[in-house]
């Protein structure tokens, strides 16, 4: 049987949903592979939604909002963009970022709606079925993306995303501004660390492991694992369970 992509679209009520309606009114034809969830603003699309959708085995997720400057809620689409970029940064780590896309369609762009949806569906078709669907289910990938969802839901990452525009675009009371490069450096570091930490937590939630075990399982340097485990321990999320010879074993609290 040929592969038919299963695509989910989040459409903002005011621009892209209206554009999708206009595509219908204009009888623009596009492949019937996308299901739509209507939200009032693309800024409502919680990063969690995208991860969860991918985790259910959906092959591709499309977020559509108003063009920059056209947002019905003034700036919601800019916030959507920041959130989306965060999700993308995570998914790049497992080469899954091409399965999500963000684009802008106005209420007057029925034809454009048809075009961008067709392009996205075709790109998913080329990528093939998600390894999180069907029989060849990839548990490791699932764990990784689950850890990403948890990391993206953490207050550290959410606070960085929420403050990103304020701290990179506006000056603070002292006339200081964080450059985009500087922000990205901090942001990338946070994304990497929080991912590793969530991955450790996920592994420890089913079994008791040593630093070395985790390093093997997560294919990371033991010193990096140890560093993050110390942070997790200080956050009270993991603790020693027992000592096997000279090796401490850790468990999730």
Partner 1 sequence: MSEKEEEPRIGVFVCSCGSNIGGLIDVKALAEYSKTLPNVVFTEDNLYTCSETGLAQIKNGIKDHNLNRVIVASCTPRTHEPLFRDCVEEEGVNQYLFNFVNIRDQNTWCHQKYPEEAFNKAKDLIRMGVAKASKLEALENITVDSTPTALIIGGGVSGMTAALSLANQGFETHLVERENELGGRLKTLYKLFPNDQEAQILLDNLKKNVEGNKNLTVHTSTQVRNIEGFIGNFEVRVEENGNNIDLTIGVIVVAVGASLLTPSGYFGYDGKIRITQHELESKLQNNEVHPKDVVMIQCVGSRNEERVYCSNVCCMTALKNSLIIKEINPETNVTILFRDLYTPGTHYEDYYRRARETGVLFIEYSPEKLPTVEEKQIRVYNEYLGEDMIISYDLCVLSTPLVSNNDNKALAQMIKVPLEENGFFLEAHVKLRPMDFATDGVYVCGSAKWPVDITESISQGYAAAARASTIISHDTIEVEGATSFLPDYNRSLCTGCEVCIKVCPYKAINKNENDEIEITQVLCKGCGVCGATCTQHAIIIRHFTDQQILSEIYAYGGKEV
Residue ranges binding partner 1 (CB under 8 A): 4, 6, 8, 13, 17-18, 20-21, 23-25, 27-33, 35-41, 43-49, 52-53, 55-58, 69, 72-76, 79, 83, 107, 114, 146, 153, 155, 158-159, 161-163, 165-166
Nearer to partner 1, 153 or 231 (CB): 153
CA 66/CA 75 separation, integer angstroms: 10
Report the nearest approach of partner 1 to the CB of residue 156 (Å): 8
249 forms beta bridges with: 242
Nearer to partner 1, 101 or 114 (CB): 114
Nearest one of 215, 88, 248, 102 to 161, comparing CA atoms: 88
First to last CA, the chain: 46
Report the nearest approach of partner 1 to the CB of residue 19 (Å): 10
**CB 72 within 8 Å of CB 148:** no
Nearest one of 195, 184, 188, 185 to 228, comparing CA atoms: 195
- Judged by DSSP in three states, 74 sits in coil
Nearest one of 101, 134, 103 to 3, comparing CA atoms: 134
Nearer to partner 1, 7 or 225 (CB): 7
Report the nearest approach of partner 1 to the CB of residue 52 (Å): 6
Nearer to partner 1, 33 or 203 (CB): 33
Which tokens hold the place of 200? 């450790």
Nearer to partner 1, 14 or 250 (CB): 14
Report the nearest approach of partner 1 to the CB of residue 207 (Å): 21
Q: What is the DSSP letter of 98?
A: G
Report the nearest approach of partner 1 to the CB of residue 37 (Å): 5
């Amino acid at each position: 049987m040929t592969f038919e992509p299963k695509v989910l679209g989040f459409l903002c009520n005011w621009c892209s949903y209206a554009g999708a309606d206009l595509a219908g009114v204009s009888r623009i034809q596009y492949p019937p592979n996308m299901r739509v969830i209507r939200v009032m603003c693309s800024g409502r699309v919680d990063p969690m939604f995208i991860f969860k959708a991918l985790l259910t085995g959906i092959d591709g997720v499309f977020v559509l909002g108003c063009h920059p400057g056209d947002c019905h809620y003034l700036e919601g689409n800019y916030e959507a963009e920041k959130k989306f970029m965060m999700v993308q940064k995570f998914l790049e780590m497992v080469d899954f970022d091409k399965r999500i896309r963000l684009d802008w369609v106005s209420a007057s762009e029925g034809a454009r709606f048809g075009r961008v949806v067709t392009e996205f569906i075709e790109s998913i078709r080329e990528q093939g079925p998600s390894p999180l669907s069907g029989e060849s289910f990839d548990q490791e990938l699932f764990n990784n993306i689950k850890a990403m969802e948890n990391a993206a839901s953490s207050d550290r990452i959410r606070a960085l995303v929420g403050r990103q525009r304020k701290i990179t675009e506006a000056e603070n009371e002292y006339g200081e501004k964080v450059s985009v490069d500087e922000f990205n450096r901090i942001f990338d570091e946070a994304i990497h660390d929080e991912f590793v930490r969530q991955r450790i937590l996920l592994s420890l939630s089913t079994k008791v492991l040593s630093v070395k075990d985790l390093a093997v399982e997560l294919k990371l340097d033991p010193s990096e694992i140890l560093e993050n485990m110390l942070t997790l321990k200080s956050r009270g999320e993991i603790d020693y369970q027992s000592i096997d010879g000279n090796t401490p074993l850790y468990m999730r609290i």
